[in-house]
Amino acid sequence: MDQLLQHCVNALVLGGTYALLGIGLTLIFGIMNVVNFTHGALYTFGAYAMYLAAVGLGINFYLALPVAVVAGLVLGAAIEFTLLRPLRRSDIDTTMLVMIGAGIILQSGALWIFGGVAKAIPNPMPDQPLNIGPVSVAWVRLFVFAAALVLIGVTYLTINRTRLGRAMRATFQDHDTAALMGVNVSLIYTATFAIGSALAAAAGALLGPVYVVFPQMGDLAAVKAFAIVILGGLGSIPGATIGGFILAFAEEIGAGYISSGYRDAMGFIIIIAVLLAKPTGLFARAERIG
Amino acid sequence: MSRVIAPLLLVVLALLPLWLKDPYLLNALIITGIFTLCAMSLNLLLGFTGQLSLGHVAFFGIGAYVSALTALGFDVELPFGLVLVVEPGSPLLGFVLAVLVTALCGYLIGRLAFRVRGAYFVIVTISFAEVVRLVALNWVDLTQGPLALTSIPNMVLPLPGLGETVLRTKMQNYYLVLGMAVVGYLVVAQLVTSRFGRAMRGLQQNESLALSLGINATRTLTVAATLSAAMAGAAGSLYAHYLRIIDPDVFLFSYTVTMVIMVVAGGKGTLAGPLVGGLIFGLLPVALRPVMAPEAQWIVYGGVLIAILFLMPQGIVPALDALTRRLRRARPAKSAPGAVEAGANP
Amino acid sequence: MPLTRRTTLAAMAFAFMASSAMAADPIKIGVNQPLTGAFAASGTYVVNGAKIAADEINAKGGVLGRKIELVIEDNKSNPTEAAAVAEKLITSDKVPVLLGAWGSSLTLATMPKLEEYSVPMVVETSSSGKITTSGNPFVFRISPPSAVEAEAFEPIAKKLGLKKVDFLVINNDWGRGAADDFSKMLKANGVQVGLVETMDQTSQDMSAQLAKLKASDADTIMVTAAVDQLTLLFKQMAALGLKKRVITTGGSQNPDQIIAQAGSAANDTLHLTTFLPWWPEKTPNAEATSYFLGEWKKRGFEFAGVTESFRGYDGIRTIAAGIAAGGAADPASIQKGLWAVNLSGLNGPIKFEKSGPKGKESGQSKPQVYLIEIKDQKIGHVQL
């Protein structure tokens, strides 16, 4: 019983992280129809930006976080402007390969600049975990969990309660009509990619202090993010959030009671099952084929 | 264009070992050839039906494992106390089984995965490959898991009058891979120009229209997936018997990425595209190796990929097609044969 | 950057590179290491260690009156590339001997090439048992396979009074091999073996495995993983309030990096290691250790890297000793010479014993194994 409780708490904390990884990708995927293979590299970028700000420049931990997020925002806008904008009319695999190329460059660049040795980012939270009965959880994980929920909430409100969000939703439903209605679609695309990138960088900046920072850290993060997005349905923020928690629970319970060797397989098995049962994901708002 | 490029490449590649004796470059060409074969099989799906599979490496890896396990023999415990014991067999049998098993896998995955399209299809295929990799990693009784299958015998070839010859040398393996590539090319060429090929391309261009014309989408796509998987399985078998060791790393996602790059950069939906893309992106790392730092090699690799897609969004072969068409128009001559290209028309 | 740069521009030109080495030419040693990809950090450390050895040997006049030259190639942490790199080093660069290839799957992939061209290789890091038991007479390993490590741990295990042990290992040949070999040894000594949990080599979150281990009734957890995952594990163990005896194996722990990155979470952990850079005077060859550490510092590398890089240093010194003992710089002489090597390495005598099927034995050197302890964020040598 104690073990089950601990698994559940672990899954809850991990799920918040996964949701954070997923929402940036689902925005870009859903609105721009771009399979963003730079997502993992942007996550890594956010972590290194956090490392440079907090360790390199010695900025206060809590102030370094927004610095890293803004850096991700700027890099995302630059990628969209230089690489995606000229390819607006290209098909999904051309843009995907360009994103793969950009991802390779970013990751190799990180290796070149920082070397392969992992870096640690110290955090100001207490070392001793919070103990509630038989269950323990680290303070830094709780902080990340709370921050993730705040970021998810802000993103959700941006999309559903602001003018920018309305334009983004219109573009998601039908970009030609949106353009006719006077929406500046190019600007919306840049904004969407920049926001998605900022969220990826935020995830990296928050998780860098929990884990360690190294050039390939984005690979696994990107795979999980793809799984979460598909689980939740493309373009759905609540879907990605719930998808993140489902994946985390499946992994925890799978590793705890089935086999730890198949821990990472759980997510994929669920995806295959979900897509066979309900091909558009669990919470898709609109179907998009092609 | 393919009708010019493919025979030309074949002649050059067939004569190459006569003067190229460097084993390292022959090795690079053999590996490139194996991945080009994979790229040709991926082109069947991606180029001619428009379905992007990012799990293609699964078939490559399954082919490698089936072939290696057949050649090495294994015993594995099954449920209900059964034990399956397989004695070591001929690599040739391994090759045949690799093709059959991957064809079956391709058929099953096709049946399942083609219920979804677009980005969802992409993710289902990635998931499939990842699950297969994790099975290969964790089913230690069968696959030895991360401990790797070692001492895999070289491929054998029954030659008329000579009995079975073990292909040990670089030269023999080079011609084996080249021969398989030619067979693969001819199979794809036959297929796409047939009635079936027209059905595939119909689906790619306008699925609803094709459906209204009575084309059975799922069946057509499933047949394409089956053939495509079988070809990738054949490539996997060649790989296992050439490298002589395999471990779950044969399922590396980066191998799929390499195949997709070869197809899209070369020109998807053209017969010669995967050949041109395969040679360029197979040999580019070899050419970069001596001139720059390892990290820089990757950066240039990514840069070349982006540059090709920016300059030739349709790929190299269609771009060459367009170029020759423009030259011909500028200097009108008698209409050249081979101007009509299977699937190359935009 | 640590690279082979050539003035030759076209790759095709390699085919014409002359093979006529003159007597005064340097003796080339091929170094096949992961410099990009998942193992980039470790491979780079090994290469840096190898360079120190090469410079030291050349400063003392080289081997057989010739300088040595390292030809360093990146195998991209990928077995296919590792085999291709071996092929390139042997056939294009004409190296008569290799050092490589860090990970076991990388080393295993190069082994058929060694047989094909009859060129020996000194294996500096890989631990898979298969490397020295599959009948490849061109392999000479200076790192301990897990069976050797387990054997060295036996007296320590008795003194620690272990009752029941769980395992948490990285899911590759290294981790699985360690779990198998240590289980066998422990069971033979009447110690119970409980859970064997695995983690993917890319995993960063091991909380599920740790929650399971926390609930188990074993008194000790033996962990096999590289430094980055160990750092994460200790942090996550602390977060879960998991307080059991933890012993790490495999020699890739890098305790200084763990202390720097995991802080107090690393306290009270035990580590089996093959090198004691903290107390050069306690190492089997104090003089060489001090020289190596001084040189490492002079070149501005992080101290934490020495527990990886000393293998590159010892590997090159082993090869140089093999060349000297063989009397000539051709593969066959070096292969013969390696059998005669008797060198005082940084972690004990390097001397190859026969291992594997008769007639085709590989060479295996048995380094010393030490137990160290992290207490109050300091490293201590456990004398039992």
Dump pLDDT digits (tens) for B80-135.
778 888 888 899 999 999 999 999 999 998 887 777 777 777 777 888 898 899 88
Same domain? For C100 and C158 the reply is no
Share of chain C above pLDDT 90, in %: 54
Residue C28 lies in a domain: yes
Q: Under an 8 A CB cutoff, do C208 and A214 touch?
A: no
Residue C278 lies in a domain: no
Q: How far is B20 from chain C (nearest CA, A)?
A: 7
What's residue B47's pLDDT? 86
Give me the CATH number covering residue C128: 3.40.50.2300
Same domain? For C248 and C235 the reply is yes
H helix count then E strand count, chain C? 12, 16
**pLDDT band at residue C12 using 50, 70 and 90 as cut-offs:** very low
Q: Distance (Å, rounded) from C-alpha A213 to C-alpha A205?
A: 9
Which residues in chain C touch residue B130, judged by CB atoms under 8 angstroms apart? Answer: none
Instruction: List, for residues C63-87, the tens digit of each pLDDT value.
Output: 999 999 999 999 988 888 899 999 9
Helix (H, G, I), strand (E, B) or coil at C93: coil
Q: Which residue numbers of C have CB closer than 8 Å to A's CBs? A: 36-44, 171, 197-200, 202-205, 207-209, 211-212, 214-215, 227-228, 231-232, 235-236, 238-241, 257, 260-265, 302, 304-305
Same domain? For C162 and C140 the reply is no
CATH domain A2-123+134-277 topology = ABC transporter involved in vitamin B12 uptake, BtuC (1.10.3470)
**pLDDT band at residue C11 using 50, 70 and 90 as cut-offs:** very low
**Is residue C222 predicted with pLDDT exceeding 90?**
yes
What's residue C19's pLDDT? 36
Three-state secondary structure readout of chain A: CHHHHHHHHHHHHHHHHHHHHHHHHHHHHHHHCCCCCCHHHHHHHHHHHHHHHHHHCCCCHHHHHHHHHHHHHHHHHHHHHHHHHHHCCCCHHHHHHHHHHHHHHHHHHHHHHHCCCCECCCCCCCCCCEEECCEEECHHHHHHHHHHHHHHHHHHHHHHHCHHHHHHHHHHHCHHHHHHCCCCHHHHHHHHHHHHHHHHHHHHHHHCCCCCECCCHHHHHHHHHHHHHHHHCCCCHHHHHHHHHHHHHHHHHHHHHCCHHHHHHHHHHHHHHHHHHCCCCCCCCCCCCC
**Is residue C6 predicted with pLDDT exceeding 50?**
no
Q: Distance (Å, rounded) from C-alpha C177 to C-alpha A188?
A: 53
Instruction: List, for residues B254-279, the tens digit of each pLDDT value.
Output: 889 889 999 988 998 899 999 999 99
Q: Distance (Å, rounded) from C-alpha A218 to C-alpha A39?
A: 8
pTM score over 0.80: yes
Final residue belonging to a domain, choices C216, C249, C273: C273
Lowest mean pLDDT among B53-57, B204-208, B282-286, C120-124: B204-208
Q: Distance (Å, rounded) from C-alpha A76 to C-alpha A194?
A: 4
* Vertex A67 angle, CA A66 and A71, to 5°: 115
Q: Please tell me the total count of domains within chain C.
A: 2
Residue C5 lies in a domain: no
Of residues B157 and C26, the one with the higher pLDDT is: C26
Instruction: List, for residues C146-191, the tens digit of each pLDDT value.
Output: 888 898 889 888 888 899 999 999 888 888 889 999 999 999 999 9
Of residues C37 and B331, the one with the higher pLDDT is: C37
Q: Residues B49-58, buried b or exposed e (16+ Cβ, 10 A)?
A: bbbbbbbbbb
Instruction: List, for residues C364-383, the tens digit of each pLDDT value.
Output: 998 888 889 999 989 988 87
Which residues in chain C touch residue B146, judged by CB atoms under 8 angstroms apart? Answer: 105, 171-173, 175-176
Number of inter-chain CB pairs under 8 A, B vs C = 105
Q: Which of B21, B28, B249 sits opposite C105 (nearest CB)?
A: B249
Q: Which domain holds residue B42?
A: 22-253
Q: Under an 8 A CB cutoff, do B249 and C79 touch?
A: yes
Place of tokens 């298969």: C130
Final residue belonging to a domain, choices C250, C273, C296: C273
Q: How far is A223 from chain B (nearest CA, A)?
A: 9
Q: Which of B42, B114, B126, B127 to mutate to test the interface with A (most CBs of A within 10 A)?
A: B127
**pLDDT band at residue B2 using 50, 70 and 90 as cut-offs:** low
Residue B2 lies in a domain: no
Final residue belonging to a domain, choices C273, C299, C322: C273
Of residues C120 and C6, the one with the higher pLDDT is: C120
* Segment holding C152, helix H or strand E: helix C146-160
Q: Please tell me the total count of domains within chain B.
A: 1
ipTM associated with this complex: 0.88
- Taking a C-beta distance cutoff of 8 angstroms, is the pair A139, A129 a contact? yes
- Taking a C-beta distance cutoff of 8 angstroms, is the pair C177, C145 a contact? yes
**Is residue C13 predicted with pLDDT exceeding 50?**
no
**Is residue C14 predicted with pLDDT exceeding 50?**
no
Q: Tens-of-pLDDT digits for all 290 residues of chain A?
A: 788 888 898 898 889 888 988 999 988 888 888 888 899 999 999 999 999 999 999 999 999 999 999 999 999 999 999 999 998 878 777 888 899 999 999 999 999 999 888 888 988 988 888 888 888 888 998 999 999 999 999 999 998 899 988 888 888 888 788 888 888 888 999 999 999 999 999 999 999 998 889 998 998 888 888 888 878 877 788 889 999 999 999 888 888 888 887 787 787 787 777 777 776 666 654 444 32
Q: Which domain holds residue C248?
A: 147-273
Q: Under an 8 A CB cutoff, do A275 and B138 touch?
A: no
Same domain? For C186 and C118 the reply is no
Residue B296 lies in a domain: no
Structure tokens at A16: 């918040």
